[in-house]
Structure 1
Amino acid sequence: MASVIEVTDLRKSYGGRAVVDGISLAVEEGEIFGVLGPNGAGKTTTVECVEGLRVPDAGRVRVTGLDPVADHAEVARVLGAQLQQSELQPKLTVREALELYASFYPAPADWRTLAERLGLTDRVDTRFARLSGGQQQRLFIALALIGSPRVVVLDELTTGLDPRARRDTWQLIEEVRASGVTVLLVTHFMEEAQRLCDRIAVIDKGRVAALDTPAGLIRRSAGATVISFTPSAPLDDADLSALPGLASVAHKDGRITLSGTDATVDAVLTLLARHRVTAHQLRVSDATLDDAFLDLTKEAAA
Protein backbone atom coordinates (compact mmCIF):
# COMPACT_ATOMS: atom_id res chain seq x y z
CA MET A 1 0.00 0.00 0.00
CA ALA A 2 1.07 3.61 -0.60
CA SER A 3 2.64 5.53 2.28
CA VAL A 4 0.88 8.79 3.08
CA ILE A 5 3.40 9.78 5.77
CA GLU A 6 7.13 9.13 5.47
CA VAL A 7 9.61 10.06 8.21
CA THR A 8 13.29 9.36 7.59
CA ASP A 9 16.08 9.86 10.17
CA LEU A 10 14.18 12.70 11.88
CA ARG A 11 16.17 14.65 14.48
CA LYS A 12 15.20 17.51 16.79
CA SER A 13 17.05 18.90 19.82
CA TYR A 14 16.27 21.51 22.45
CA GLY A 15 19.03 23.11 24.50
CA GLY A 16 21.53 20.55 23.25
CA ARG A 17 19.33 17.60 24.28
CA ALA A 18 18.14 15.26 21.52
CA VAL A 19 14.35 14.90 21.88
CA VAL A 20 13.99 13.07 18.55
CA ASP A 21 17.09 11.09 17.69
CA GLY A 22 16.89 9.49 14.23
CA ILE A 23 13.25 8.35 13.97
CA SER A 24 12.14 6.64 10.76
CA LEU A 25 8.64 5.32 10.04
CA ALA A 26 6.00 5.17 7.30
CA VAL A 27 2.22 5.31 7.64
CA GLU A 28 0.23 3.46 4.99
CA GLU A 29 -2.97 4.78 3.49
CA GLY A 30 -6.11 3.65 5.30
CA GLU A 31 -4.53 2.41 8.51
CA ILE A 32 -4.65 3.53 12.12
CA PHE A 33 -0.98 3.94 12.97
CA GLY A 34 -0.12 4.33 16.63
CA VAL A 35 2.77 6.22 18.16
CA LEU A 36 3.21 4.86 21.67
CA GLY A 37 5.62 5.79 24.41
CA PRO A 38 6.11 7.23 27.87
CA ASN A 39 5.82 10.95 28.58
CA GLY A 40 8.83 12.81 27.22
CA ALA A 41 9.71 10.08 24.72
CA GLY A 42 9.53 12.43 21.70
CA LYS A 43 6.09 11.40 20.41
CA THR A 44 4.51 14.85 20.22
CA THR A 45 7.63 16.51 18.79
CA THR A 46 7.73 13.89 16.03
CA VAL A 47 4.09 14.46 15.19
CA GLU A 48 4.46 18.25 15.28
CA CYS A 49 7.23 17.90 12.67
CA VAL A 50 4.79 15.86 10.55
CA GLU A 51 2.18 18.60 10.95
CA GLY A 52 4.68 21.32 10.00
CA LEU A 53 4.41 22.97 13.43
CA ARG A 54 8.11 22.39 14.12
CA VAL A 55 11.09 22.50 11.79
CA PRO A 56 13.33 19.41 12.05
CA ASP A 57 17.04 19.86 12.70
CA ALA A 58 17.73 17.03 10.25
CA GLY A 59 15.98 14.28 8.37
CA ARG A 60 13.13 14.12 5.87
CA VAL A 61 9.36 14.31 6.41
CA ARG A 62 6.73 13.93 3.70
CA VAL A 63 2.93 13.94 3.90
CA THR A 64 1.34 12.67 0.67
CA GLY A 65 4.67 13.53 -0.94
CA LEU A 66 4.69 17.11 0.38
CA ASP A 67 7.14 18.81 2.73
CA PRO A 68 5.14 19.97 5.80
CA VAL A 69 7.31 23.08 6.17
CA ALA A 70 8.01 24.14 2.57
CA ASP A 71 4.54 23.08 1.38
CA HIS A 72 2.65 23.94 4.55
CA ALA A 73 -0.46 25.38 2.86
CA GLU A 74 -0.84 22.31 0.65
CA VAL A 75 -0.29 19.94 3.59
CA ALA A 76 -2.96 21.79 5.59
CA ARG A 77 -5.48 20.82 2.91
CA VAL A 78 -4.79 17.08 3.23
CA LEU A 79 -3.99 16.79 6.94
CA GLY A 80 -6.32 17.51 9.85
CA ALA A 81 -5.08 17.63 13.43
CA GLN A 82 -6.28 17.51 17.00
CA LEU A 83 -3.43 18.79 19.15
CA GLN A 84 -2.37 17.46 22.55
CA GLN A 85 -3.41 20.73 24.22
CA SER A 86 -6.56 22.09 22.60
CA GLU A 87 -8.91 24.80 23.83
CA LEU A 88 -11.52 27.08 22.29
CA GLN A 89 -12.90 30.40 23.45
CA PRO A 90 -15.29 29.40 26.29
CA LYS A 91 -18.29 31.33 24.91
CA LEU A 92 -17.93 29.97 21.37
CA THR A 93 -20.78 27.61 20.50
CA VAL A 94 -20.35 24.33 18.66
CA ARG A 95 -22.09 25.84 15.62
CA GLU A 96 -19.82 28.91 15.62
CA ALA A 97 -16.68 26.79 15.96
CA LEU A 98 -17.66 24.50 13.09
CA GLU A 99 -18.67 27.40 10.83
CA LEU A 100 -15.43 29.24 11.65
CA TYR A 101 -13.20 26.27 10.86
CA ALA A 102 -15.19 25.46 7.71
CA SER A 103 -14.44 28.99 6.46
CA PHE A 104 -10.71 28.15 6.44
CA TYR A 105 -11.07 25.63 3.59
CA PRO A 106 -12.07 26.06 -0.07
CA ALA A 107 -14.18 22.87 -0.08
CA PRO A 108 -15.00 21.94 3.53
CA ALA A 109 -17.13 19.04 4.68
CA ASP A 110 -20.73 19.85 5.62
CA TRP A 111 -20.43 20.76 9.30
CA ARG A 112 -24.03 19.72 9.95
CA THR A 113 -23.27 16.21 8.70
CA LEU A 114 -20.17 16.07 10.89
CA ALA A 115 -22.13 17.26 13.92
CA GLU A 116 -24.71 14.54 13.37
CA ARG A 117 -22.09 11.87 12.76
CA LEU A 118 -20.28 12.80 15.98
CA GLY A 119 -23.37 13.08 18.13
CA LEU A 120 -23.28 16.86 18.49
CA THR A 121 -26.52 17.85 16.75
CA ASP A 122 -28.32 18.57 20.01
CA ARG A 123 -25.32 20.59 21.25
CA VAL A 124 -24.73 22.94 18.30
CA ASP A 125 -25.92 25.97 20.30
CA THR A 126 -24.05 24.97 23.46
CA ARG A 127 -21.02 26.99 24.44
CA PHE A 128 -17.67 25.22 24.55
CA ALA A 129 -17.29 25.76 28.31
CA ARG A 130 -20.56 23.88 28.94
CA LEU A 131 -19.62 20.78 26.98
CA SER A 132 -18.55 17.64 28.82
CA GLY A 133 -15.01 16.33 28.30
CA GLY A 134 -16.27 13.70 25.87
CA GLN A 135 -18.33 16.26 23.93
CA GLN A 136 -15.32 18.57 23.67
CA GLN A 137 -13.25 15.71 22.26
CA ARG A 138 -16.00 14.96 19.72
CA LEU A 139 -15.92 18.61 18.69
CA PHE A 140 -12.14 18.52 18.26
CA ILE A 141 -12.48 15.45 16.04
CA ALA A 142 -15.08 17.30 13.98
CA LEU A 143 -12.75 20.31 13.65
CA ALA A 144 -9.92 18.00 12.55
CA LEU A 145 -12.19 16.51 9.86
CA ILE A 146 -13.89 19.71 8.67
CA GLY A 147 -11.39 20.14 5.82
CA SER A 148 -12.10 16.64 4.44
CA PRO A 149 -8.48 15.53 5.02
CA ARG A 150 -6.84 12.35 3.77
CA VAL A 151 -4.93 12.07 7.04
CA VAL A 152 -5.91 13.05 10.57
CA VAL A 153 -3.53 13.31 13.55
CA LEU A 154 -5.01 12.68 16.99
CA ASP A 155 -2.62 13.45 19.86
CA GLU A 156 -3.48 12.08 23.34
CA LEU A 157 -7.14 12.26 22.36
CA THR A 158 -8.62 10.46 25.38
CA THR A 159 -6.45 11.81 28.19
CA GLY A 160 -8.66 12.88 31.07
CA LEU A 161 -11.79 11.11 29.84
CA ASP A 162 -13.74 8.66 31.98
CA PRO A 163 -13.79 5.01 30.79
CA ARG A 164 -17.17 5.29 29.05
CA ALA A 165 -16.25 8.49 27.20
CA ARG A 166 -12.91 6.96 26.25
CA ARG A 167 -14.56 3.88 24.72
CA ASP A 168 -17.09 6.04 22.88
CA THR A 169 -14.19 8.02 21.44
CA TRP A 170 -12.46 4.80 20.34
CA GLN A 171 -15.55 3.86 18.37
CA LEU A 172 -15.50 7.27 16.69
CA ILE A 173 -11.88 6.78 15.66
CA GLU A 174 -12.75 3.43 14.11
CA GLU A 175 -15.61 5.09 12.21
CA VAL A 176 -13.24 7.81 10.96
CA ARG A 177 -10.90 5.15 9.54
CA ALA A 178 -13.86 3.29 8.01
CA SER A 179 -14.75 6.47 6.11
CA GLY A 180 -11.39 6.28 4.30
CA VAL A 181 -9.27 8.62 6.44
CA THR A 182 -5.80 7.52 7.55
CA VAL A 183 -5.32 8.04 11.29
CA LEU A 184 -2.05 8.81 13.07
CA LEU A 185 -2.82 8.24 16.75
CA VAL A 186 -0.46 9.38 19.50
CA THR A 187 -1.15 7.81 22.87
CA HIS A 188 0.36 6.43 26.04
CA PHE A 189 -2.65 4.22 26.79
CA MET A 190 -1.71 0.61 26.03
CA GLU A 191 -5.29 -0.63 25.89
CA GLU A 192 -6.18 2.12 23.44
CA ALA A 193 -3.27 1.26 21.15
CA GLN A 194 -3.94 -2.48 21.31
CA ARG A 195 -7.61 -2.05 20.41
CA LEU A 196 -7.34 0.56 17.67
CA CYS A 197 -4.01 0.35 15.88
CA ASP A 198 -3.07 -1.70 12.84
CA ARG A 199 0.60 -1.01 13.54
CA ILE A 200 2.45 0.73 16.35
CA ALA A 201 5.78 2.52 16.61
CA VAL A 202 7.05 2.30 20.19
CA ILE A 203 9.16 5.39 20.81
CA ASP A 204 11.53 5.61 23.77
CA LYS A 205 14.18 8.24 24.42
CA GLY A 206 13.66 9.78 20.98
CA ARG A 207 14.14 6.55 19.05
CA VAL A 208 11.93 3.82 17.59
CA ALA A 209 12.33 0.90 19.99
CA ALA A 210 10.05 -1.34 17.90
CA LEU A 211 7.55 -1.13 15.03
CA ASP A 212 5.02 -3.90 14.44
CA THR A 213 1.39 -4.87 14.79
CA PRO A 214 0.11 -5.05 18.39
CA ALA A 215 0.15 -8.86 18.22
CA GLY A 216 3.63 -8.78 16.71
CA LEU A 217 4.96 -6.57 19.49
CA ILE A 218 3.53 -8.92 22.09
CA ARG A 219 5.08 -11.93 20.37
CA ARG A 220 8.45 -10.16 20.27
CA SER A 221 8.46 -9.53 24.00
CA ALA A 222 10.46 -11.92 26.15
CA GLY A 223 7.41 -13.19 28.02
CA ALA A 224 4.49 -13.56 25.63
CA THR A 225 2.68 -16.00 27.95
CA VAL A 226 1.95 -15.46 31.66
CA ILE A 227 1.42 -18.37 34.07
CA SER A 228 0.36 -17.76 37.67
CA PHE A 229 -0.60 -20.15 40.46
CA THR A 230 -0.37 -20.81 44.19
CA PRO A 231 1.55 -24.06 44.80
CA SER A 232 0.37 -26.50 47.47
CA ALA A 233 4.02 -26.95 48.50
CA PRO A 234 7.19 -24.90 47.96
CA LEU A 235 9.01 -25.20 44.64
CA ASP A 236 12.77 -24.90 44.28
CA ASP A 237 13.80 -21.61 42.66
CA ALA A 238 16.53 -23.44 40.77
CA ASP A 239 13.91 -25.68 39.13
CA LEU A 240 11.82 -22.63 38.17
CA SER A 241 14.84 -20.75 36.79
CA ALA A 242 15.70 -23.75 34.59
CA LEU A 243 12.31 -23.77 32.83
CA PRO A 244 12.65 -23.43 29.03
CA GLY A 245 11.62 -20.10 27.50
CA LEU A 246 11.41 -18.44 30.91
CA ALA A 247 11.60 -14.62 30.90
CA SER A 248 10.86 -13.81 34.54
CA VAL A 249 9.74 -15.23 37.88
CA ALA A 250 7.91 -13.30 40.59
CA HIS A 251 6.75 -14.35 44.07
CA LYS A 252 4.05 -12.48 45.96
CA ASP A 253 1.92 -13.61 48.91
CA GLY A 254 2.71 -17.25 48.18
CA ARG A 255 1.70 -16.94 44.52
CA ILE A 256 4.14 -17.55 41.66
CA THR A 257 3.92 -15.64 38.38
CA LEU A 258 6.03 -16.73 35.43
CA SER A 259 6.36 -15.13 32.01
CA GLY A 260 7.69 -17.12 29.11
CA THR A 261 6.51 -19.11 26.11
CA ASP A 262 4.19 -22.04 25.40
CA ALA A 263 7.15 -24.29 26.18
CA THR A 264 7.28 -22.75 29.65
CA VAL A 265 3.66 -23.71 30.26
CA ASP A 266 4.29 -27.36 29.35
CA ALA A 267 7.42 -27.46 31.50
CA VAL A 268 5.63 -25.95 34.51
CA LEU A 269 2.92 -28.60 34.34
CA THR A 270 5.56 -31.33 34.08
CA LEU A 271 7.45 -29.86 37.05
CA LEU A 272 4.30 -29.75 39.18
CA ALA A 273 3.40 -33.34 38.32
CA ARG A 274 6.93 -34.58 39.06
CA HIS A 275 6.91 -33.05 42.53
CA ARG A 276 3.23 -33.87 43.11
CA VAL A 277 2.43 -30.22 43.75
CA THR A 278 -1.05 -28.90 43.06
CA ALA A 279 -1.36 -25.51 41.33
CA HIS A 280 -4.24 -23.69 42.99
CA GLN A 281 -6.01 -20.97 40.95
CA LEU A 282 -3.85 -21.72 37.92
CA ARG A 283 -4.11 -19.01 35.28
CA VAL A 284 -2.50 -19.00 31.83
CA SER A 285 -2.92 -15.88 29.71
CA ASP A 286 -1.32 -14.05 26.83
CA ALA A 287 0.82 -11.07 27.66
CA THR A 288 -0.69 -7.67 26.97
CA LEU A 289 0.73 -4.75 25.03
CA ASP A 290 1.52 -3.24 28.42
CA ASP A 291 3.79 -6.21 29.19
CA ALA A 292 5.42 -5.95 25.76
CA PHE A 293 5.91 -2.20 26.11
CA LEU A 294 7.69 -2.54 29.45
CA ASP A 295 9.90 -5.24 28.02
CA LEU A 296 10.71 -3.32 24.82
CA THR A 297 11.51 -0.03 26.51
CA LYS A 298 13.63 -1.85 29.08
CA GLU A 299 15.65 -3.29 26.19
CA ALA A 300 15.97 0.16 24.60
CA ALA A 301 17.28 1.61 27.86
CA ALA A 302 19.88 -1.15 28.29
Structure 2
Amino acid sequence: MELPPVALEGSVRSMLRSFWGVDVADKRLVGDLLLGRRQHTGTVLYVTSGSGGVGKSTSSRRLCERAAAMGVSSLLVDANPLQSSQRNFFGGRSLLDVRTISDWTPGDERAQHGANQGRRFGVAYDLTFAPETGQSVPWSRYADFIMAARRLWQFVVVDLDRISPVDLDDTGTAAGALVTPSVVSGDLVLVPVKLGMQTQRDAMNLLAAFPRHGLPNECVGVKEVLPIGMEEHAPYDYAPYGTYLGAERQSVEAERRIEQCASNWADMNLDPVRERVLAWALPDRGFDPARYMPKERRKGLWGRKRK
Protein backbone atom coordinates (compact mmCIF):
# COMPACT_ATOMS: atom_id res chain seq x y z
CA MET A 1 0.00 0.00 0.00
CA GLU A 2 1.19 3.47 -0.81
CA LEU A 3 1.82 5.80 2.08
CA PRO A 4 -0.54 8.78 2.26
CA PRO A 5 0.96 12.23 1.58
CA VAL A 6 0.65 13.21 5.23
CA ALA A 7 3.09 10.42 6.14
CA LEU A 8 5.56 11.30 3.44
CA GLU A 9 5.59 14.94 4.50
CA GLY A 10 6.34 14.14 8.14
CA SER A 11 9.35 12.75 9.97
CA VAL A 12 10.24 9.11 10.47
CA ARG A 13 9.27 9.49 14.11
CA SER A 14 5.83 10.88 13.31
CA MET A 15 5.18 8.15 10.74
CA LEU A 16 5.99 5.37 13.21
CA ARG A 17 3.86 7.00 15.87
CA SER A 18 0.87 7.34 13.51
CA PHE A 19 0.99 3.89 11.95
CA TRP A 20 2.27 1.66 14.76
CA GLY A 21 1.83 3.73 17.90
CA VAL A 22 5.56 3.45 18.60
CA ASP A 23 7.51 6.45 19.83
CA VAL A 24 11.02 6.13 18.38
CA ALA A 25 13.39 8.92 19.32
CA ASP A 26 16.36 7.68 17.33
CA LYS A 27 16.36 7.48 13.55
CA ARG A 28 19.12 4.87 13.68
CA LEU A 29 16.65 2.29 15.03
CA VAL A 30 14.77 2.21 11.72
CA GLY A 31 17.63 2.94 9.31
CA ASP A 32 18.13 -0.70 8.31
CA LEU A 33 14.42 -1.12 7.60
CA LEU A 34 14.08 1.99 5.45
CA LEU A 35 17.24 1.35 3.44
CA GLY A 36 16.85 -2.39 3.04
CA ARG A 37 20.09 -3.08 4.88
CA ARG A 38 20.68 -6.39 6.61
CA GLN A 39 19.48 -6.47 10.18
CA HIS A 40 22.89 -7.40 11.57
CA THR A 41 24.81 -4.56 9.96
CA GLY A 42 27.26 -2.81 12.25
CA THR A 43 27.38 0.77 13.46
CA VAL A 44 29.43 3.25 11.41
CA LEU A 45 30.97 6.28 13.13
CA TYR A 46 32.76 9.01 11.16
CA VAL A 47 35.26 11.11 13.12
CA THR A 48 35.91 14.49 11.56
CA SER A 49 35.96 18.22 12.26
CA GLY A 50 36.52 21.56 10.59
CA SER A 51 40.16 21.84 11.68
CA GLY A 52 43.29 19.75 11.89
CA GLY A 53 45.13 18.90 15.09
CA VAL A 54 42.05 18.30 17.24
CA GLY A 55 42.76 14.63 17.97
CA LYS A 56 40.63 12.86 15.34
CA SER A 57 43.07 10.02 14.66
CA THR A 58 43.92 9.42 18.33
CA SER A 59 40.22 9.46 19.22
CA SER A 60 39.47 6.93 16.47
CA ARG A 61 42.07 4.50 17.78
CA ARG A 62 40.99 4.85 21.39
CA LEU A 63 37.34 4.27 20.51
CA CYS A 64 38.24 1.05 18.69
CA GLU A 65 40.48 -0.04 21.58
CA ARG A 66 37.74 0.31 24.16
CA ALA A 67 35.02 -1.19 21.95
CA ALA A 68 37.18 -4.21 21.16
CA ALA A 69 37.95 -4.65 24.88
CA MET A 70 34.21 -4.92 25.46
CA GLY A 71 33.87 -7.68 22.87
CA VAL A 72 32.62 -5.51 20.00
CA SER A 73 34.34 -6.56 16.77
CA SER A 74 35.78 -3.28 15.45
CA LEU A 75 37.42 -1.99 12.28
CA LEU A 76 39.37 1.27 12.01
CA VAL A 77 39.35 2.74 8.49
CA ASP A 78 42.00 5.34 7.66
CA ALA A 79 40.14 7.63 5.27
CA ASN A 80 42.74 10.38 5.33
CA PRO A 81 44.88 9.50 2.29
CA LEU A 82 46.74 12.80 2.25
CA GLN A 83 48.22 12.24 5.70
CA SER A 84 47.75 8.47 6.14
CA SER A 85 47.56 9.13 9.87
CA GLN A 86 46.95 5.54 10.95
CA ARG A 87 49.48 4.13 8.52
CA ASN A 88 52.12 6.45 9.94
CA PHE A 89 51.16 5.58 13.51
CA PHE A 90 51.53 1.86 12.92
CA GLY A 91 54.79 1.99 11.01
CA GLY A 92 54.63 4.35 8.06
CA ARG A 93 56.69 3.29 5.07
CA SER A 94 57.79 0.09 6.77
CA LEU A 95 54.31 -1.30 6.14
CA LEU A 96 55.11 -2.64 2.70
CA ASP A 97 52.86 -5.70 2.59
CA VAL A 98 49.73 -4.54 4.37
CA ARG A 99 46.30 -4.41 2.82
CA THR A 100 44.95 -0.99 1.95
CA ILE A 101 41.64 0.27 0.64
CA SER A 102 43.08 -0.02 -2.87
CA ASP A 103 43.40 -3.81 -2.44
CA TRP A 104 39.65 -4.19 -2.17
CA THR A 105 37.62 -4.51 -5.37
CA PRO A 106 34.23 -2.78 -5.49
CA GLY A 107 31.48 -5.35 -5.50
CA ASP A 108 33.47 -7.80 -3.38
CA GLU A 109 31.36 -8.71 -0.35
CA ARG A 110 34.51 -9.91 1.43
CA ALA A 111 35.64 -6.65 2.99
CA GLN A 112 38.42 -8.50 4.80
CA HIS A 113 40.33 -8.36 1.50
CA GLY A 114 40.94 -4.71 2.26
CA ALA A 115 41.64 -5.09 5.98
CA ASN A 116 44.42 -6.30 8.28
CA GLN A 117 44.09 -8.32 11.45
CA GLY A 118 44.89 -6.17 14.43
CA ARG A 119 46.89 -8.84 16.23
CA ARG A 120 49.65 -8.23 13.71
CA PHE A 121 50.03 -4.76 15.20
CA GLY A 122 49.35 -5.68 18.80
CA VAL A 123 45.81 -4.31 18.94
CA ALA A 124 42.44 -6.01 19.36
CA TYR A 125 40.70 -4.27 16.44
CA ASP A 126 41.30 -4.63 12.70
CA LEU A 127 42.63 -1.95 10.36
CA THR A 128 42.16 -0.72 6.82
CA PHE A 129 44.98 1.60 5.78
CA ALA A 130 44.85 4.47 3.33
CA PRO A 131 46.46 3.74 -0.06
CA GLU A 132 50.17 4.09 -0.53
CA THR A 133 51.60 7.40 -1.70
CA GLY A 134 50.89 7.93 -5.37
CA GLN A 135 47.79 5.73 -5.44
CA SER A 136 44.41 7.37 -5.83
CA VAL A 137 41.18 5.84 -4.59
CA PRO A 138 37.84 7.55 -5.29
CA TRP A 139 35.56 8.27 -2.36
CA SER A 140 32.92 6.07 -3.96
CA ARG A 141 35.19 3.07 -3.28
CA TYR A 142 35.43 4.06 0.37
CA ALA A 143 31.64 4.28 0.50
CA ASP A 144 31.21 0.83 -1.04
CA PHE A 145 33.88 -0.66 1.20
CA ILE A 146 32.29 0.75 4.35
CA MET A 147 28.94 -0.72 3.29
CA ALA A 148 30.57 -4.14 2.89
CA ALA A 149 32.59 -3.80 6.11
CA ARG A 150 29.55 -3.13 8.26
CA ARG A 151 28.32 -6.62 7.41
CA LEU A 152 31.42 -8.18 8.98
CA TRP A 153 32.29 -5.88 11.88
CA GLN A 154 29.96 -4.63 14.58
CA PHE A 155 31.66 -1.22 14.81
CA VAL A 156 33.36 0.62 11.95
CA VAL A 157 35.21 3.83 12.86
CA VAL A 158 36.19 6.01 9.89
CA ASP A 159 39.04 8.43 10.59
CA LEU A 160 38.57 11.39 8.23
CA ASP A 161 40.57 14.53 7.61
CA ARG A 162 38.94 17.91 8.22
CA ILE A 163 35.92 18.62 6.04
CA SER A 164 34.40 21.89 4.87
CA PRO A 165 30.75 22.99 5.02
CA VAL A 166 30.82 23.91 1.31
CA ASP A 167 31.77 20.32 0.44
CA LEU A 168 28.82 18.63 2.15
CA ASP A 169 26.96 18.38 -1.16
CA ASP A 170 30.04 17.75 -3.35
CA THR A 171 30.22 14.02 -4.09
CA GLY A 172 33.83 14.41 -5.15
CA THR A 173 34.85 15.03 -1.53
CA ALA A 174 34.78 12.95 1.65
CA ALA A 175 32.13 15.28 3.05
CA GLY A 176 29.73 14.88 0.13
CA ALA A 177 30.49 11.26 -0.74
CA LEU A 178 30.64 9.80 2.77
CA VAL A 179 29.44 12.03 5.59
CA THR A 180 26.28 13.55 4.12
CA PRO A 181 24.66 10.45 2.56
CA SER A 182 25.71 8.14 5.41
CA VAL A 183 24.58 10.35 8.28
CA VAL A 184 21.36 11.32 6.52
CA SER A 185 20.62 7.58 6.31
CA GLY A 186 21.22 7.08 10.04
CA ASP A 187 24.96 6.57 10.51
CA LEU A 188 26.87 8.64 13.06
CA VAL A 189 29.43 11.43 12.98
CA LEU A 190 31.56 12.61 15.90
CA VAL A 191 32.90 16.17 15.76
CA PRO A 192 35.70 17.10 18.20
CA VAL A 193 35.65 20.82 19.00
CA LYS A 194 39.02 22.03 20.28
CA LEU A 195 38.64 25.22 22.27
CA GLY A 196 40.45 28.10 20.62
CA MET A 197 39.41 31.03 18.49
CA GLN A 198 40.01 29.50 15.04
CA THR A 199 39.34 25.85 15.82
CA GLN A 200 36.04 26.65 17.52
CA ARG A 201 34.98 28.88 14.65
CA ASP A 202 35.75 26.15 12.11
CA ALA A 203 33.89 23.49 14.09
CA MET A 204 30.82 25.64 14.71
CA ASN A 205 30.62 26.60 11.02
CA LEU A 206 30.62 22.88 10.18
CA LEU A 207 28.03 21.98 12.81
CA ALA A 208 25.77 24.83 11.71
CA ALA A 209 25.87 23.49 8.14
CA PHE A 210 24.73 19.99 9.10
CA PRO A 211 21.01 20.78 9.55
CA ARG A 212 20.93 22.64 6.24
CA HIS A 213 22.12 19.48 4.52
CA GLY A 214 19.63 17.21 6.27
CA LEU A 215 21.95 15.58 8.82
CA PRO A 216 19.66 14.55 11.71
CA ASN A 217 20.48 15.99 15.09
CA GLU A 218 20.40 12.63 16.85
CA CYS A 219 23.14 11.25 14.58
CA VAL A 220 25.67 14.01 15.38
CA GLY A 221 27.88 13.77 18.45
CA VAL A 222 30.04 16.60 19.77
CA LYS A 223 32.91 16.42 22.22
CA GLU A 224 35.03 19.34 23.34
CA VAL A 225 38.81 19.17 23.61
CA LEU A 226 40.36 21.45 26.21
CA PRO A 227 43.98 22.52 25.61
CA ILE A 228 46.62 22.04 28.28
CA GLY A 229 46.16 24.51 31.12
CA MET A 230 42.47 25.24 30.55
CA GLU A 231 40.60 24.38 33.74
CA GLU A 232 37.59 26.64 34.06
CA HIS A 233 35.10 25.69 31.40
CA ALA A 234 31.38 25.60 30.71
CA PRO A 235 30.26 23.92 27.47
CA TYR A 236 28.39 25.74 24.77
CA ASP A 237 24.81 24.80 23.97
CA TYR A 238 25.29 22.25 21.18
CA ALA A 239 21.68 21.04 21.34
CA PRO A 240 20.71 22.63 17.99
CA TYR A 241 23.44 20.62 16.26
CA GLY A 242 23.81 17.30 18.05
CA THR A 243 24.41 15.41 21.30
CA TYR A 244 27.01 16.88 23.62
CA LEU A 245 29.24 14.08 24.95
CA GLY A 246 31.58 15.90 27.30
CA ALA A 247 34.92 17.67 27.42
CA GLU A 248 38.32 15.99 27.22
CA ARG A 249 41.26 17.66 28.89
CA GLN A 250 44.60 17.37 27.15
CA SER A 251 47.67 16.81 29.29
CA VAL A 252 51.45 16.72 28.95
CA GLU A 253 51.36 13.01 29.80
CA ALA A 254 48.87 12.28 27.02
CA GLU A 255 50.99 14.16 24.49
CA ARG A 256 54.03 12.19 25.57
CA ARG A 257 52.23 8.89 25.15
CA ILE A 258 50.93 9.87 21.72
CA GLU A 259 54.43 10.82 20.59
CA GLN A 260 55.62 7.40 21.79
CA CYS A 261 52.86 5.70 19.77
CA ALA A 262 51.28 4.32 22.95
CA SER A 263 47.89 2.66 22.81
CA ASN A 264 45.06 2.13 25.25
CA TRP A 265 46.52 3.83 28.29
CA ALA A 266 44.25 4.76 31.18
CA ASP A 267 43.61 8.50 31.32
CA MET A 268 40.96 10.05 33.56
CA ASN A 269 41.12 13.21 31.45
CA LEU A 270 40.01 11.26 28.37
CA ASP A 271 38.35 8.00 29.39
CA PRO A 272 35.01 9.36 30.72
CA VAL A 273 34.23 11.09 27.43
CA ARG A 274 35.31 8.08 25.40
CA GLU A 275 32.93 5.91 27.41
CA ARG A 276 30.09 8.34 26.88
CA VAL A 277 30.74 8.44 23.12
CA LEU A 278 30.59 4.65 22.99
CA ALA A 279 27.45 4.49 25.14
CA TRP A 280 25.86 6.88 22.63
CA ALA A 281 27.11 5.06 19.53
CA LEU A 282 26.65 1.51 20.83
CA PRO A 283 23.76 1.54 23.30
CA ASP A 284 23.06 -1.57 25.38
CA ARG A 285 26.59 -2.92 24.88
CA GLY A 286 27.64 -2.37 28.47
CA PHE A 287 29.44 0.97 28.24
CA ASP A 288 29.00 2.90 31.48
CA PRO A 289 30.31 6.49 31.69
CA ALA A 290 29.61 6.64 35.43
CA ARG A 291 32.39 4.15 36.19
CA TYR A 292 34.94 6.69 34.98
CA MET A 293 33.48 9.69 36.79
CA PRO A 294 34.64 10.30 40.39
CA LYS A 295 31.91 11.93 42.47
CA GLU A 296 33.81 15.17 42.82
CA ARG A 297 34.01 15.53 39.02
CA ARG A 298 30.56 14.41 37.97
CA LYS A 299 29.12 17.91 38.09
CA GLY A 300 32.15 19.69 36.67
CA LEU A 301 32.77 17.24 33.85
CA TRP A 302 29.62 18.10 31.96
CA GLY A 303 29.28 21.57 33.45
CA ARG A 304 26.61 24.18 32.88
CA LYS A 305 25.52 25.06 29.40
CA ARG A 306 25.99 28.60 28.27
CA LYS A 307 24.29 30.28 25.37
User: Would the TM-score normalized by the shorter structure come out above 0.5?
Assistant: no
TM-score (norm 2): 0.33
Q: Which has the higher strand share?
A: 1
The structure with the greater share of residues assigned to helix is 2
